[in-house]
A and B are shown apart, each in its own frame.
Chain A
């Protein structure tokens, strides 16, 4: 009985890992295809965060002893990736990197005028 549960968990884990690697692949394609810094930043954080999270969860499901460790790692990624991305985006905006000409919203501009 337990062996069947382990096999099912392993299959689910491999599915998670494949989803994660798919998203990582999308992120790396987006890094090349996106037009400007901010769009690239978005692919490099959103898709990568999801990919890394599901890879970690998959590893945890394949070997249950690793689940707590991989969950802690996942929490760290969830906390750090957006912080780094927002700091980088803000720094590049303050440094004067232009937005792509098709951009619609520029909320930093209003904030900059307030300074």
Chain B
């Protein structure tokens, strides 16, 4: 009975989703999308929204990677909300897993090969994560993938060294500094031009590292913030070990 009900529910959900996605033209001409409406100049352009982004995005933001331009520039405020959600999740996990009288679990020492190899790989993985979020405005990637890669480097250390612990004080310091950077950059834009996250730095030449104004700055902040939050989640899930 329970299973039949679950199957019926799954089929219903599938039908609803299928109906919803049939309406979206998959890979067709973009003229069927809604038109672009600029809230500042109060005008509707005759281009569709994706077309507008692809045509004017480079001039508007200076970023070559259009996804980054949308995530950090056009929809920058949403990104602040997302990072806040992640912060709340990390705080929730931390407060749930916090134990007053810490029970120390016994963990076996890991293999010598694993220890040496993770020591070798840790730097490379951190470097790769930093590369992903520093070049977020040029190549695919950005703050969220970069932060996740950095957290996975710490996860490797947790797996290799049973006694390893990332210091929560340092994590919270780096996380707070990154969040503050994001908000302060946005507020400076608010002071200069009248809206949050205004791109006040010079754009520079596209496809160069120092281009796109504040976008790399914000993405580095997001990368550090996401990395320290995910590391804190892994750390609190790991528990106290001996």
Interface size classification for chain A: under 10
Q: Is A64 an interface residue (CB 8 A)?
A: no
Most interface-central of A83, A86, A90, A94 (chain B CB within 10 A): A83
Interface residues in A14-71 by Cβ distance below 8 A to B read none
Could you tell me if B118 and A83 are in contact, using CB atoms closer than 8 angstroms?
A: yes
Residue of B nearest to A75 (CB): B124
Residue of A nearest to B112 (CB): A86
Could you tell me if A83 and B108 are in contact, using CB atoms closer than 8 angstroms?
A: no
Name the contact of B110 in the complex, choosing from A79, A80, A82, A87 (C-beta under 8 A): A87
Give A residues with C-beta under 8 Å from B: 76, 79-80, 82-83, 86-87, 90, 94
Name the contact of A94 in the complex, choosing from B108, B117, B120 (C-beta under 8 A): B108
Residue of B nearest to A76 (CB): B124
Question: Secondary structure at chain A's binding surface: helix, strand, loop or mixed?
Answer: helix
Could you tell me if A82 and B121 are in contact, using CB atoms closer than 8 angstroms?
A: no
> What's the Cα separation between A55 and B233 when bound, in Å?
38
What are 14 A-B contacts with C-beta separation under 8 Å? A76-B124, A79-B117, A79-B124, A80-B117, A82-B113, A83-B113, A83-B114, A83-B117, A83-B118, A83-B121, A86-B111, A86-B113, A86-B114, A87-B111
| Cβ–Cβ < 8 Å partners of B111 in chain A | 86-87, 90
Q: Shortest beta-carbon distance, A53 to chain B, in Å?
A: 17
Residue of A nearest to B109 (CB): A115
> What's the Cα separation between A90 and B109 when bound, in Å?
11
Which 6 interchain pairs have the tightest Cβ spacing?
A83-B117, A86-B113, A87-B114, A90-B111, A86-B111, A83-B114
| Cβ–Cβ < 8 Å partners of A94 in chain B | 108
Could you tell me if B114 and A80 are in contact, using CB atoms closer than 8 angstroms?
A: no
Extra contacts besides A83-B113, A83-B117 (6): CB < 8 Å: A79-B121, A80-B121, A82-B113, A82-B117, A87-B114, A94-B108
| Cβ–Cβ < 8 Å partners of B113 in chain A | 82-83, 86-87
> What's the Cα separation between A90 and B111 when bound, in Å?
8
| Cβ–Cβ < 8 Å partners of B118 in chain A | 83
| Cβ–Cβ < 8 Å partners of A79 in chain B | 117, 120-121, 124
Contact with A along B101-127 (1 / 0, CB 8 A): 000000010110110011011001000
> What's the Cα separation between A51 and B17 when bound, in Å?
42
| Cβ–Cβ < 8 Å partners of B108 in chain A | 94
Q: Shortest beta-carbon distance, B115 to chain A, in Å?
A: 10
| Cβ–Cβ < 8 Å partners of B121 in chain A | 79-80, 83
Q: Shortest beta-carbon distance, B124 to chain A, in Å?
A: 8
| Cβ–Cβ < 8 Å partners of A90 in chain B | 111
Contact with A along B134-160 (1 / 0, CB 8 A): 000000000000000000000000000
